[in-house]
Amino acid sequence: VKRIDHIAIAVNNLEESLRFYQDALGLDCFTIETVAEQGVRVAKLNAGNTHIELLEPLSPETPVGKFLTKRGQGLHHICFGIDDIEQELNQLKEKQTKLIDETPKIGAGGAKIAFVHPAATGGVLMELSEPQHPHAPHD
Ligand code: CO
């Protein structure tokens, strides 16, 4: 594990939550995008060397919509950035870790991602992410 890639928070309304994170706390919101396949609208904010993602469900039937109905607003998942997701998943499987994704899926920006079950992590959904070009220079 190299770093915390992002911390994702489920919210009822992006604009309302941005009034705190952006306007009051002063974090820079650098994108708001709709990710249809995950059923969310996402606001991404710079928070030092990591990002905060605010997730607003597109409908109550989506995973984040169901999360809000069941648990209300709050921490949805923590994402760790790693170099080799296949190797990491194999290690976790060897240790009988309960996984949601046994093999990586392709997430935003072409990253390979997989989720670890909250039952294994102390109750917090955990995402692992291998960026598409981990060593590409910033432009
Ligand atoms: Co995430």
pLDDT in tens, 89-113: 999 999 999 999 999 998 777 889 9
If phi > 0 it is left, if psi is from -120 to 50 it is alpha, else beta; for residue 48 that is: left
CA of 95 to the centre of ligand 1 (A): 24
Q: Give pLDDT, residue 136.
A: 53
CA of 78 to the centre of ligand 1 (A): 7
Mean pLDDT over each residue of the chain, to the nearest integer: 93
What band does 126 get if pLDDT is binned at 50, 70 and 90?
Answer: very high
| In contact, 45 and 51? CB cutoff 8 Å | yes
CA of 25 to the centre of ligand 1 (A): 21
CA of 94 to the centre of ligand 1 (A): 24
Residue labelled with tokens 């648990």: 71
Q: Give pLDDT, residue 139.
A: 42
What band does 135 get if pLDDT is binned at 50, 70 and 90?
Answer: low
Please name which of 58, 89, 79 lies closest in space to residue 127, comparing C-alpha atoms: 79
pLDDT tens digit sequence for 12-56: 999 999 999 999 999 999 999 998 888 999 999 999 999 999 999
CA of 51 to the centre of ligand 1 (A): 10
Q: How far apart are the C-alpha atoms of 116 and 112, rounded to whole Å? A: 14
Q: Give pLDDT, residue 44.
A: 96
Which amino acid is residue 95, in one-letter code?
K
